[in-house]
Structure 1
């Protein structure tokens, strides 16, 4: 935190005369004249190194946290206190920012204040010295101010760019330090993206206007060898504008593939941004993108593996549960998500789904639930549910799972979980965790009130997915759960048995190349992540330092010929990629060798336990549930037809000093629940929203 606050202080001081006329010259006199790094070494030291060092310390911290004993991680609710419970209460609900809590609002305000401070301070200081520029250039005052404003807008936009990629780094060691995940951080990425592209667009427009009024529009076609390249900046901005346009909600929801594929233009955006400003200045925003590249390549290595798919549970409501073999040391928390790719449907599309299995109940299996919504999920369901289907093997690749570092459901006396449609899936993992806690650990769990709204009675079959497909017996008599199911589009029903009669299970054969899902960096993944960040950065510094000392520096000493900015930036980007690829690949291969024998043993054990009957076996949910000491969950649920839940009455009617209110589903549902919790009518509500649609 000290290092982070010091980095923020440097951003605050950056636009001041104190920094530019006192601090910067003193630091550059000691660092900026290095024959190994030149002026680039200054920004690497001030802006790049501190953030990477925090990421390394964060990795070490997460490793030590993971090593804590189980009994210390699972404390009863009497032993836990949420010191920030009031700050997590929703403050803003409706509006362009979505749901914003009291703790998020100050940070957002401080970031906007940083941008305003930087913009106003730069303008004040630069305009104060503008007479010197007028004497040199001979142009009019307003034109000089226009050019200065264009430069300042670009500089301020770079502040947002420095943080833009941090929220979407899925395996980040920084986000857990702030209690965030890559999914919960998506909205921060959206906010930052709008700010960055708005400032960069204004930067480009101001320059175009300036070149037009000074009759120098040909500047748009110039690519300077040892200065800012205008063409590179225009290409970068064009890529950014395409990405920005496709994020419009109407386009993103109706044409998701267009949004998804166009967002890969971030590569073009970043490459030409570096070519535009040069690698020395780009080093100020390097750490966020550097950590993103490390994470992206590790995910790429994991996605190249074909994982072992054990079975699928297919429901009549266009819902499919996929069950994978898992390496026992792969640990994850409830509400984790996993990205799934099925090459036979699309080799390029990756879709996130909630992990519904429990790490403790099913140590050798991992499950996700896929509800038919888009074309991809519908094709998968049709492929598996077709009566003529005789699929014996389905190739699947995954990335993840990713989830919160810890969960705090046990601290509440009552958990009210409100879902709409497929929004029930995160709650399945929570309920299974509570089953394990109550039946195995013998810890008193909160009372659970599950409020789920479905459109049709066929969707009620999703309640059966709360129980694992395995036949393991767990005593859930200690779990106090109340299920209120609402079918909004129907007035009558045909009974639970009729609802689930078409459900069935499919068992898949495996191929030698299929392996259980395993932690890509091994059981000590956080430690390996810190090692990759440290070793790759050191490797990059050594390579680029030697090239600068023995090639770039001697060239720059020649007054008649300066080393090209573009070539230097390209070399830096190339060797950053080389360093990350080499160190990450070596780490992954080392860990893969360590678990190969155990993985093969796991496959053999799983194969022996798999039914040797036909790969497509009729599935009878009622027969399977007979092994559990409780009735069918659909039969136990209170089902309400033709109505919607009175959320305000249900939530405010809960008794206890601590009520956890979790909501997952459509945007309108999340906002309604947030409004109730933000009303202040009662002080014992703790709101949390789980969203996968932004």
Structure 2
């Protein structure tokens, strides 16, 4: 009964796949050339804007900027409408938001024009990729920063140089104009100035802090980064920010104590700097900082997760501390983060259709969701999953194993039972009394704008345990391209290290439950699986615990397939949200300033309360983002709801055997050619670990892409081999998650 239904579903998937149009002419080669030229022009514009922003950061600490540039800009800006912060909004906020807007258009044109690095497989582009290998090579492997490439190290050095330049320039200007008050000594005045310099430099770091965690922002993919890969930058910046702000606060406390002004700690100035607000912001930051260290984050993830919500208080009280005028420097990163966060909130309110779950004997589960065929994503993309019955607040990221080309109507993730949240989920799904329905919410998917795996002659994928999940999506994409599009794909060597035989069932997930073309022999795939803690295969016998189970869930009319939060033209809609919300914010700010603040304050900043002005500015930003984002979301939701189809799933039995149980000699469907090919491509090794150095050095192809995902020790070993310089054909890429 089960195998008959399974074969019927597979045939239907094949028919849908082969009947779909594979190539769409969108205007011929001339339109493609125009698109490439326009995108090149956009890259030039973005580069010019970034250089201009960098120049402002470099000049900002100098006396020339303060005494000449600022006065000139304020004289030209109509402060009657925007107040004194109008100049800072023009200099610091507007250029960054313009970069984000251009990035949205750039990414949209790349998606619609079909410009994908997968297609960049010509010999010339391959040669260019190889010649640029040096700046992707790891130069630091072991240490507090983890694996750092040449490019990352170069930018890190330049960023540290910017901080040192800013700090030294501020101190030079401050110390050249020392003016001790009565009763203050020179060292106390210098301590006061040093404390201020720490705060000013800390604000430079804070301006960049929120960019890496804006998952749907256009800034990261514009420069070839993903939110997952950028988490380590957020960690680096967070440590620097909190070090500088802690030094800023401690120096002021020492200064106040030494000059008998300890009451300054509880002052909240009406029109100036609010010391109390700054201390509250610092306390919130210290609470977050204390839970970010690896030992605490890994052992007490819930504490780390919930404590990080204090970022709201950190930002709000920081703006109260310095005022909106100076906060305009860090507003762009926060602005884009708020847009992204609100869109994620809107998406998470929709119930999604969970089709089935495959429960593996290695205490892992595969969740299969229904998705809209219009939703496309690249390999190694991630999605955030929330199960309200376990925790309404916890969201956990997982790499998607499905492929949007091979499985146009389904999206899959694999969850290994390792933490308390995932263990509860596994127990729920593996229990015989599992309910026929599970409420799940998702955010995403998020991933790279394009991938480059076809540029290599061979791919070597090294993984440990659940680290195989990002490689499953890559293999499925290569299966689709080799079998369906008849595209030449690189040879694939998958090296897996597992603790015991039960973990071998993770290899079952390489092939989806349905929809796999039978002609996968075109894919040159070789799997080397190592079981490190067993000397020989385990005797599974007839134990049902060793068999893979499939659980089917009943459909619910309220649930919808997973859609892109802003539809198929999401980048255009995001650009519209960013631009329209900022324009509306400026209009509201102009009305408020012209009719209410300016008649009272006359731009002196000495009468109108600074806290009220900051609160109104924050309120306007949130209202504008909420209005525009909600409108865009509802318009796209209406369109997606009209196209959504009701998924009818018949009640299917939950079998004890499955297409993935061949490692345990369970009954197999004799006509399952894809699985037979997968078995023939797999070599099992018991009681040993892979000799990675020998395997990598034996690769003779001219370009070998080396991808690794697994424990830190494994990543460091592979990075050390690739960075040794003994094999020039190895191109290293680490896929790791720092959540």
Cα deviations across residues 169-219 of structure 1 (Å, max 9, x unaligned)?
A: 100101111110000000110110011100000000000000001000000
Which residue of the partner structure matches residue 74 of structure 2?
28
Q: In the alignment, does 2:554 pair up with 1:517?
A: no
1:35-434 equivalent positions in 2, closer than 5 A: 35-69=80-114, 74-76=119-121, 78=123, 80-81=125-126, 82=129, 84-130=132-178, 133-134=179-180, 139-389=184-434, 391-434=435-478
Shift of 1:557: 3.5
SS at match of 2:378: coil
Which residue of the partner structure matches residue 652 of structure 2?
613
CA contact (8 A) 2:464 2:496 kept: yes
Q: Distance in 1 between matches of 2:679 and 2:257?
A: 70
Cα deviations across residues 47-85 of structure 1 (Å, max 9, x unaligned)?
A: 000000000000000000001137885233535331532
Cα deviations across residues 621-658 of structure 1 (Å, max 9, x unaligned)?
A: 25358433451635641111111110100011101110
Q: Distance in 2 between matches of 1:513 and 1:560?
A: 53
Q: Distance in 1 between matches of 2:673 and 2:542?
A: 21
Does the C-alpha gap of structure 1 residues 501 and 143 become closer, same or farther in structure 2, counting only changes over 3 Å?
Answer: closer
Which residue of the partner structure matches residue 692 of structure 1?
737
1:446-485 equivalent positions in 2, closer than 5 A: 446-485=490-529
1:480-491 equivalent positions in 2, closer than 5 A: 480-491=524-535
SS at match of 1:426: helix
Shift of 1:620: 2.2
Q: Distance in 1 between matches of 2:426 and 2:233?
A: 33
CA contact (8 A) 1:463 1:634 kept: no
CA contact (8 A) 1:464 1:634 kept: no
Q: Distance in 2 between matches of 1:470 and 1:630?
A: 12
Shift of 1:277: 0.3
Q: Distance in 2 between matches of 1:280 and 1:229?
A: 14
CA contact (8 A) 2:118 2:452 kept: no
Cα deviations across residues 364-410 of structure 1 (Å, max 9, x unaligned)?
A: 00000111101111111111111233x21111100001000001000
Shift of 1:345: 1.3
Does the C-alpha gap of structure 1 residues 664 and 560 become closer, same or farther in structure 2, counting only changes over 3 Å?
Answer: closer
Q: In the alignment, does 2:686 pair up with 1:628?
A: no
Q: Distance in 1 between matches of 2:606 and 2:336?
A: 35
CA contact (8 A) 1:464 1:632 kept: no
CA contact (8 A) 2:225 2:448 kept: yes
Cα deviations across residues 407-465 of structure 1 (Å, max 9, x unaligned)?
A: 10001111000001100000000000110110011111111110000011000001010
Does the C-alpha gap of structure 1 residues 559 and 154 become closer, same or farther in structure 2, counting only changes over 3 Å?
Answer: closer
Q: TM-score, normalised by structure 2?
A: 0.90
CA contact (8 A) 1:463 1:633 kept: no
The number of aligned residues is 682
Q: Distance in 2 between matches of 1:137 and 1:430?
A: 70
Unaligned runs of 5+ in 1: none
Does the C-alpha gap of structure 1 residues 181 and 72 become closer, same or farther in structure 2, counting only changes over 3 Å?
Answer: closer
Shift of 1:619: 4.0
Does the C-alpha gap of structure 1 residues 498 and 281 become closer, same or farther in structure 2, counting only changes over 3 Å?
Answer: farther
Q: Distance in 2 between matches of 1:597 and 1:504?
A: 35
Does the C-alpha gap of structure 1 residues 518 and 79 become closer, same or farther in structure 2, counting only changes over 3 Å?
Answer: farther
Cα deviations across residues 110-159 of structure 1 (Å, max 9, x unaligned)?
A: 000000000001111111111xx22x556211111110111110000000
Does the C-alpha gap of structure 1 residues 51 and 624 become closer, same or farther in structure 2, counting only changes over 3 Å?
Answer: farther
Cα deviations across residues 267-292 of structure 1 (Å, max 9, x unaligned)?
A: 01000000000011001110001000
Does the C-alpha gap of structure 1 residues 371 and 208 become closer, same or farther in structure 2, counting only changes over 3 Å?
Answer: same
- CA RMSD, Structure 1 to Structure 2 (Å): 1.8
Which residue of the partner structure matches residue 19 of structure 2?
none
Q: Distance in 2 between matches of 1:386 and 1:58?
A: 47
Which residue of the partner structure matches residue 528 of structure 1?
573
